[in-house]
Amino acid sequence: MKIEKTPFHRIRLITGIVLCIIMTSCNGQANNDDKQSVIKQTIQLPNFNNQISDVVRTIFQDSKGNTWFGAQGGAFKLDGDSLIHIDSIRSESGGRVTIKDIAEDKDGIIWFGHTDGISSIDGTTVTNYYESDGLISNDVWCIETDVNGNVWIGTIAGACIFDGLGFNNFDLPEGKIDTTVGVSSTKMIHSILEDSKGTIWFCTNAGIFSYKNKNLKNISDEVGVPTNFVSKIVEDKKGGFWVSTSKGLFYLKENVLTNISELHFEESKGTGSLIVDAKGDIWFNCSRSIYRLSGEKLTEYRIEEGNYGPLTFQIYEDRQNRLWFVGYGGAYRYENDRFINITQNGPW
């Protein structure tokens, strides 16, 4: 474990080279009477320089209103109108890492899951944790905190819990390797969610699992999810859950699973990031397209060929109800029916 006071450096220019993009695709829009129609809109974006990073993997706004960006090259905090690079989040060998997920615990500590372990920021103190400290794997894909102060970590080698003192492995059934993506394993954990009732949900390569009162349930088996590969689950205000999988988008409520993709697509493949916004609209992405489902109306925002932003890793709504899209090509915000590129200089 490495603990240090971190120098927060104001950013000049952080760039990188994309080695691998792990995305799924969505094909076959409906054009017959049996499917809901899809409204198409083309996203036209200029080529901007001076991006926050060539790849922004995640964005998070904390309880104090601070905005954090997790990127290839590390973590960045928005301080007023300036970005601060958190230079002390490092691999065990001292190298820079790619931040894949960010969370905040009940004490206001910010947690980061990245390519070489996990890190926390408490004020100006950065603590880095690695396999040598008991972490199940340094290859971390997701991180979540619960109401009791536990930190849940999902990795390529399974899940574990940090209780403030040490790490304990959390056993989940083993799944399958997804051969359609560049990085996969039988124990891959894609995302973890604590819902409004305190249930912990796991999206894995073995399906969906829920955990409460020391009881682990295989939800995929109970409701018949047609694929092992589940990437994301989010809760809506009606007590239901939207589920993103390699077979498309589903809705789960009271143990009934509805295939949403088949209502809108002739042939659907994997969906990736997923949110329910403040209006109740569902936003999700398939490869180069972003979709908004508002009631029965589905709108596609198609990125032009040759334009590489935003190839979305995460869709996010902040406390001002502003929608963010971050990924390969930087960070973008959706305002007044258009996508605005957010560079190191904003606009914030």
Q: What is the pLDDT of residue 16?
A: 34
User: Is 347 a member of any domain?
Assistant: no
Q: What is the pLDDT of residue 337?
A: 87
Q: Is it the case that residue 214 has pLDDT exceeding 80? A: yes
Q: What is the mean pLDDT of the chain?
A: 88
- At 269, is the pLDDT very low, low, confident or very high (cuts 50, 70, 90)? confident
C-alpha dist (Å) from residue 274 to 232, 250, 291:
7, 11, 10
State residue 132 phi and psi, 5-degree precision. -65, -15
Q: What is the pLDDT of residue 10?
A: 41
State residue 316 phi and psi, 5-degree precision. -145, 140
CATH number for the domain including 247?
2.130.10.10
Mean pLDDT of all residues in 51-80: 95
- Span 140-180, pLDDT tens digits: 999 999 999 999 999 999 999 999 999 999 999 999 999 99
Q: What is the pLDDT of residue 287?
A: 76
Mean pLDDT of all residues in 276-285: 97
User: Is 348 a member of any domain?
Assistant: no
Query: Among residues 280, 343, 347, 281, which one has the least CA distance to residue 310?
Result: 343
User: Is 125 a member of any domain?
Assistant: yes
Mean pLDDT of all residues in 112-141: 98
- Span 177-212, pLDDT tens digits: 999 999 999 999 999 999 999 999 999 999 999 999
Classify each residue of 244-278 as buried b or exposed e, where b means 16 or more C-beta atoms within 10 Å of its C-beta: bbbbbbbebeeeebeebbbbbbeebbbbbbbbbbe
Rounded Cα distance, 271 and 13, in Å:
32
Q: What is the pLDDT of residue 15?
A: 32
State residue 261 phi and psi, 5-degree precision. -60, -40
Query: Where in the sequence is the domain holding 107, given as residue range(s)?
Result: 2-342
DSSP sequence for 102-137: EEE-TTS-EEEEETTEEEEEETTEEEEE-GGGT-S-
- Span 15-64, pLDDT tens digits: 333 333 333 446 444 444 445 556 655 554 445 468 999 999 999 999 99
Question: Does 310 sit behind a cis peptide bond, omega within 30 degrees of 0 on the bond before it?
Answer: yes
Number of structural domains the chain divides into? 1
Say which residues have a Cβ less than 8 Å from residue 83's Cβ, sequence separation at least 6: 10, 11, 52, 69, 76, 77, 344
- Span 302-339, pLDDT tens digits: 766 555 556 799 999 999 999 999 998 899 999 998 88
Question: How many Å from the N-terminal Cα to the C-terminal Cα in the chain?
Answer: 35
Rounded Cα distance, 188 and 318, in Å:
28
- At 5, is the pLDDT very low, low, confident or very high (cuts 50, 70, 90)? low
